[in-house]
Structure 1
Amino acid sequence: MPMTYDVAIVGAGIFGLSTAYELARRGHSVLAIDRFGSGHPATSSTGASRSIRIAYDHPFYVELALEAIESWRRLEAETGQTILHLTGQVDLGPQSKLEELTRTVRAAGAAIEEMDAAELRRRFPEIALSRGEIGLFQRQAGTVIANAGMAALLRAAKKAGVTYLAPERVVRFEPGATVTLYTEGRHFEAKQVIVAAGPWAKDLLDGVGLPLPLAPAVAQVTFLDAPALVDRPGIAEWRPNGETGIYGHPVPGIGYKIAFDSGAAGWHPDVEEWEPDPAEEQRLLGWLARRMPSVVPKVSRTQRHPWTMTPDVDFIVDRWGQFIVAGGCSGHAFKFGPALGRLVADIVEGGEAPSVTRLGRPALRQSAPSPTAPITR
C-alpha cells in the first residue's frame, strides 16, 4: 500500500517548491512531483534571473512583494546562498500608469519617487529620454537570481523533509477518501493535492472536472553581455492601451536581461527546449538602440520558456474540494518566491484565498485569453 501524504504537490516550479518547503516547515508530510525537474528548460521557472519590484497597481501584489523580499532574505540566511540583487528599478510610461503605481505603493507604506529626466539619468546614465519624459524610481527592486533561488528552495525543502520525485509525470487523479495520483509507472495517495503544474495544469484539472480559461504561451528573454550594467537599476517601460511593454534587469555574472512583456503561441506539452525567435530578438535590440543607444548590443544568449496567462493577468490560488490550484502565473509570479508558499500553505490549512486569486472571480468565467496577451500588472 502506498504511503498517504498530507499533501501532494504536482509541479515543483516556484509555486510548488516554495509551497512544499513552507508546508514541511509547518509539520506536514509532503510529496512534490515534477515532470521534468525543478528549473528544467521546459518549465516556467527556468533561467538565470527574474525581476523583482514592489510597484504594482494592486495592493495585494505590493504587499506580497514586500513580504517576498523579507522571505528571500530569510532563505539566503538559512542556506548561505545569494539570491537577491537589489539595485532599484526605473518605471517609464503613461502618466496615468505612473500615478496609479505611485498611489498604490505609497498606500502600502513603501517608498517610490518621481524623477525628471536629469535625475533618472543620474540613476541610469545609459537611458535616453524624450523631452519632458519623467519616471519613477523604487529602491526595493532589481533581480532575483532565479537559478540560485530554485536551488536554495530545493535544498531547504529536502532538509525540511519533503519527498521530491523528478522526473516523474502525473497523468491523472482519482478523487476519493484520499486522492490517488497516477504517474506513468506507479501511484501515490494524499489527503490534499496542490496542482502547480504551470501550462500542464489545464489538462490535469480538466480531468477532474475543473475547466479553467488558461492560455499557455512561450516567452523569450535576451541576455546582454554588458558587465557595465550589472549594478544599474532594472527598467519597466509600460505602454498605453494595454500594448506590450518592455522590461529589463541586471544579471550578475552576465550583464543585463531584456524582454517584451508578452509571449507567443505554439506551446506544446512535450517540447523540452524552445528555439529562440531571431526576429523577436532583433525587435528587442531595436528598442535597446533607442532607449540605451550607448549600450553595445552584444547578445550573450537568448532563450524561451513557457508561462500561463489568465484573462485578467492575476494568479489562481484557491481551493476546489480536495484540490488547491496554484498557477496562472501570467509571467509575473517568480519574484514572490517563498511568499507564494506561505499564501498556498495558508489555504491548505483552511485559510481563505484573497479575492484577487479566487476561482469564483468574474474574469475566470470568460474565455481563455490569447497567448500573446501582454502582462499589464
Structure 2
Amino acid sequence: MSNNVEFLIIGGGAMGSATALSLAQSGHEVLLLERFEPGHQQGASHGSTRNFNAAYARSEYLRLLQRANILWDDISAQANTPLLTRTGLVNHGVVAEQRHMHEVLAGAGFASELLSIDEAQERFSGMKFETEVLHIPAGGQINADAAVAAMQRLAAEAGARIQHEHPVVGIEVINDEQVAVRVRDESGERTVFAKHLIVTAGAWTHQLLGQHDLPAIHVTEEHPVHFALRSSEAKFPGFNHILDGTRDIGSPVFGPVYGMHTPGLGIKVGWHGSGRLTDPNHREHQVIEEQIRGLQDYAQRWLPGVDSEIYESISCTYSNTDDENFILDRLGPITIGAGFSGHGFKFVPAIGEYLAQLALGSRGTEELFSASRTQREPLFLERRRALGIS
C-alpha cells in the first residue's frame, strides 16, 4: 500500500464506491478502503432491491434526483449491467401531500399521474388501496449489490485502488492538506497520508470521526421481510404507504411502509426506521416479533398478491440524522457523506459526484446538508416516540 495518496475514501458501500468512480473517472488518484469483505451484509448497501422514488418537494433533493436519474442509466450502460428497472412507483395514504407532489414533480421534469382507487387496483393487481394514488412511471428498483460491484469495477478500470478487509483504526488531521490514516490489514498496521479524506462509513461515521462537529446520527437495525408471491401474474410497482400511527390494522402501526418486488425472493416490505437503536459492531440480528406480525397484518390487508404466512426476514442498518436530511459537507481536509438510510440509495451516483466536487473544492455545501446546520427538527426521534418506539 502506498503511503501517500491524493484522495482516500473510507467506506466501500454505495456512496464511497460512487465517489471513487466520480473522482477516478475525472483523472484523480483514489484509494478506497473498506473494512469488510466484498459483498458483505454488515451495513446498508447490500441486497438486490432499493426503490427509486422521485416524490420529493425540496429543490436540493430534486436536483440530486434529476442528476441521479441520468447517472443510473449512464453507469448501467458503462457497466453493461441493468441497475435500475423502471417498474413505476406509487405513493398512497395522504391525498393532499400526493396532489402537491404531483404539481412539484411536473416542474422538476418527472411525469406523474393521480389514479383513482379503482384505476390503481386494476393496474396493480397485487395491491389494495383506500385513497387516491400518486403514480410515478420513472420510479422503479435499483439492484444494490450489482450497483456497488459495477461502480467499484468501473472505478478500478479508471485507476482507483480498492482494498477490502482494511479497517481504519485512527485518523489524525496534520494540516489543511494532509490527513494521516492508520489502517490495519493482514500484515499489521500502517499509516497512509492523504491530501484529502472522504468518509462514507455509514453507521461507523461517529466511531471514526468522534463528534467532529457532526449532527447526531442514530443507528438502528432494521428487519424488512420478503413475502412469497401467490401468483406470478400479480402486478407490483414499488410503493410507499403513509399510515395513521393511531390506526388499528390488527396490530400497531410502526411507521410508514415501503415495498417492492425483489425477483426470485418475493415482495420486500418494511417499516421505515422502526428498528432497535444499535451499535453496528454489536448488532443482535434479532427481529422484533411484534413488528414482523405487524407486517403480516399489513400484507393481509393491503397486499392480496402475497402470502403473509410465508416470509423471510433480512437485516440491515439505518443511520439517520435527527431531521433525516443527509450530511454532505467538507470540514477542512475531510469531506463527509452520512445520514442516508431509508431514502439515500436512489441518489447514489449523484451523491458520489457531489462528494467528489466538495473534496475537489469545486462546489460548496448547501445549508440543508451542512454538518453545522442550525435548524434540525428532531423528526426521526419524534416519529418513533409518537409510535411508541424507544
Alignment TM-score, normalising by the size of structure 2: 0.88
Is 1:200 aligned with 2:204? yes
Q: Please give the residue correspondences for 1:180-219 in structure 2 after superposition, counting only pairs within 5 Å.
A: 180-184=180-184, 185-206=189-210, 209-219=212-222
Q: CA deviation at 1:24?
A: 0.5
Q: Which residue of 298, 301, 324 maps to 1:290? A: 301
**Residues 273 and 318 of structure 2 are in contact (CA less than 8 Å); yes or no, is this contact kept in structure 1?**
no
Q: CA deviation at 1:70?
A: 1.7
Q: CA deviation at 1:108?
A: 0.8
Is 1:325 aligned with 2:323? no
Once structures 1 and 2 are overlaid, which stretch shifts more, 41-50 or 258-267? 258-267
User: For residues 63 and 339 of structure 1, what CA distance do their matches in structure 2 show?
Assistant: 9
What root-mean-square deviation, in Å, do the aligned CA atoms of Structure 1 and Structure 2 show? 2.5
Q: Please give the residue correspondences for 1:37-52 in structure 2 after superposition, counting only pairs within 5 Å.
A: 37-52=37-52
Q: Please give the residue correspondences for 1:184-263 in structure 2 after superposition, counting only pairs within 5 Å.
A: 184=184, 185-206=189-210, 209-226=212-229, 228=232, 232-240=236-244, 244-263=255-274
User: For residues 271 and 35 of structure 1, what CA distance do their matches in structure 2 show?
Assistant: 15
**Residues 225 and 300 of structure 1 are in contact (CA less than 8 Å); yes or no, is this contact kept in structure 2?**
yes
Q: 1:144 to 1:215 in 2, by over 3 A?
A: same
Give the equivalent residue in structure 1 for 2:345. Answer: 334
Structure 2: unaligned runs, 5 residues or longer: 247-253
User: For residues 372 and 77 of structure 1, what CA distance do their matches in structure 2 show?
Assistant: 41
Is 1:361 aligned with 2:364? no
Give the equivalent residue in structure 2 for 1:147. Answer: 145
User: For residues 10 and 198 of structure 1, what CA distance do their matches in structure 2 show?
Assistant: 10
Q: CA deviation at 1:137?
A: 0.5
Once structures 1 and 2 are overlaid, which stretch shifts more, 290-299 or 316-325? 290-299
Q: 1:340 to 1:179 in 2, by over 3 A?
A: same
| SS of residue paired to 2:329 | strand
User: For residues 353 and 336 of structure 2, what CA distance do their matches in structure 1 show?
Assistant: 14
The number of equivalent residue pairs is 371
Q: Residue deviations 1:10-67, cap 9 Å, x none?
A: 1111111100111011111111111114542111111121111111122222332232
Matching residue's letter, 1:219: E
Q: Please give the residue correspondences for 1:98-117 in structure 2 after superposition, counting only pairs within 5 Å.
A: 98-117=98-117
Q: CA deviation at 1:354?
A: 2.5
Q: 1:122 to 1:302 in 2, by over 3 A?
A: same
Give the equivalent residue in structure 2 for 1:66. Answer: 66
Q: Residue deviations 1:124-155, cap 9 Å, x none?
A: 1232233xx21111001111011111111111
**Residues 87 and 231 of structure 1 are in contact (CA less than 8 Å); yes or no, is this contact kept in structure 2?**
no
Q: 1:367 to 1:238 in 2, by over 3 A?
A: closer
**Residues 44 and 341 of structure 2 are in contact (CA less than 8 Å); yes or no, is this contact kept in structure 1?**
no
Structure 1 vs Structure 2: percent identity of aligned residues?
Answer: 26
User: For residues 310 and 316 of structure 2, what CA distance do their matches in structure 1 show?
Assistant: 18
Q: Residue deviations 1:268-288, cap 9 Å, x none?
A: 232478233343222101101
Once structures 1 and 2 are overlaid, which stretch shifts more, 359-368 or 102-111? 359-368
Q: 1:117 to 1:33 in 2, by over 3 A?
A: same
User: For residues 327 and 38 of structure 1, what CA distance do their matches in structure 2 show?
Assistant: 21
**Residues 259 and 284 of structure 1 are in contact (CA less than 8 Å); yes or no, is this contact kept in structure 2?**
yes
Q: CA deviation at 1:229?
A: 6.7
| SS of residue paired to 1:331 | coil
